Amino acid sequence: MPFPHSLRSRFAVLIALLVTLLSWLLGSLIGENSSQRIREEVGRDLAEVSLQMIDRLDRDMASRASYLQVLGSLRVLRQPRDNAEIRVLLDRLQHEIPSIAWIGLTDPQGTVLASSNGILEGASLIQRPVYLEGLKGLFIGDVHEAVLLAKLLPNPSGEAMKFVDISLPVQGPDGALAGVLASHLSWEWADEVRRSLLEPIQKRRNVEFLVLGHDHAVLLGPKAMIGQKLELPALQQSAKQDGSWAVQQWPDGQSYLTGIAASKGYGDYAGLGWIVVARQSVDEAYAPARELMHSTMLWGGGLALLFAAIGWLLTGYFTRPLRQIAHAADRLSAGEITVIPDLRSPSEIATLSQSIRHLVESLTHQQTALNLMEDKAHSDPLTGLPNRAALEKYLPHAQHHSQAHQGCLALLYLDLDGFKPVNDQFGHAAGDLLLQEVAKRLRTCLRDGDLVARLGGDEFLMILQVPQHEAQQQARQIAERTLQALAAPVVLDGQQARVGCSIGGALWPLDHADLSEALELADQALYRAKHAGRNRAEFQTHEPPAA
């Protein structure tokens, strides 16, 4: 086949070769760079979720131990007289904390006086570690099976039940030993923590979690690996860092991106030496990079042919119409209001000018649509109030504004009182109308610069900009104004309905330097308001914790 000599043909072949070569180079570079970036991103994600899970396990374990310490200080346990009263208290604690599979109080000789659901009452625990170690002080034991207790507890799954022990001595008013408060935590609690963290990351990548004991035996993970010891080089480094990741070859012969985090304990709880391991197959992690490289090369080949044809055509036409189009496009890029000229000749240039005109119009319409979609995404469809997404976007700006003006943020959690009975009596449609009316009243209680967002259901959050010297006073004024506004009756289906609200408040940074912790304090204050009779406002009153 003779080599083409025409300028058009040579120009088209040159463009095709250049684009093909560039696509191949870019595909290779992008694939390699993407693999590196994906490896680092996935590795950091795995290390981060491993840290999150081990921290969650440590915090939960420490909090359970704290609950038992508080319970052990109660008079009813320190002076055990009425076993039925103690049993009611233990049943209530188990109901509030479902992870407690069993909890009981023994006498000094190890006989169970009272327990949740009456299980093991009258039995002797004198030979059990949970009693023997509990005599010495606060004891937190590692994961184990309890055959006798497993037979007495419901077990829908039929799988072997595992527990974690927590026990402590209970001293009487005279300082003498009154008994031992012992409990078994269900190991299912750890699996619930795993699932809660796994669900969001599982949507982006297929990840597995394993929990290892201090001897590297698998406590939680794939069934086939439970009880086996996992030997990985990276496990030797886990104790030296807060979170690490590496590419490791596992016993099954496959390579995995592996994130590792070791238990550091929490507060007075020193931890049990657990290690959380998160892994993802290297082949699966690199799949997006390979797809990107293949797509780049495929598109490069198609674009090579397209640009060669365009180059072959463009060399035969006058350039003046193109300069007109280019000039109009430059003005559009500079932000000037103009239109692409409507050229009639030659026909290809006319088509090009029309296509670009339509593209500009389409992009303009798309931008308008995107703006509308963003507004909807940040608004609650029922009440029109900002939603959680808008709140997350607003909070950093509110913090910056408050810091710049040396002010504070008053955080008010609101929860409607009596909404469910109204909803049940008048129906969900009336309930929606009631929420819309509540939203209107909440808006009237705010000032310029304040925000109220609907968190979901009948829960709302107010963010108030207040000066430091009057922060508590102004926050209480707004809270009282809100209570009065929501106490007024609402007409639904010709009948009057009444709801109130409970409010929990905290001040940032006066109550806590961390905004998320300050929000938690406000949530706790709401809990107190609910339990103190409702239709009232409670504020954080403790000394602010160290930042």
Q: Which residues are catalytic?
A: 458
Look up residue 88 and give its two tokens: 């009611």
Please give, one letter per residue, the 3-state secondary structure of 373-431.
HHHHHCECCCCCCECHHHHHHHHHHHHHHHHHCCEEEEEEEEEEECHHHHHHHHCHHHH
Beta bridge partners of 186: 163
The continuous run of DSSP H or E covering 262 comes out as strand 255-262
Q: Which of 476, 503, 480, 472 is nearest to 407 (CA)?
A: 472
- Here the contacts of 145-150 (C-beta below 8 Å, separation 24 or greater) are 146/184, 148/120, 149/101, 149/102, 149/119, 149/120, 149/184
Please, are residues 518 and 506 in contact by the beta-carbon 8 Å criterion?
Answer: yes
**200 preceded by a cis bond (ω within 30 of 0):** no
Q: Which residues of 404-438 are buried (b: 16+ CB within 10 A; e: fewer)?
A: eeebbbbbbbbbbbebeebbeebeeebbebbbebb
Eight-class DSSP state of 153? S
- Please tell me the distance from the alpha carbon of residue 413 to that of residue 463, in angstroms, as a whole number: 9
Eight-class DSSP state of 547? -
- Please tell me the distance from the alpha carbon of residue 386 to that of residue 392, in angstroms, as a whole number: 10
Intra-chain end-to-end CA distance of the chain, in Å:
79
Q: Please identify which residue in the block is written with the tokens 């088209």.
A: 12
- Please tell me the distance from the alpha carbon of residue 85 to that of residue 87, in angstroms, as a whole number: 5
Number of Cβ atoms within 10 Å of the Cβ of 481? 14
Please, are residues 182 and 125 in contact by the beta-carbon 8 Å criterion?
Answer: yes
What are residue 239's phi and psi, to 5 degrees?
Answer: -75, -15
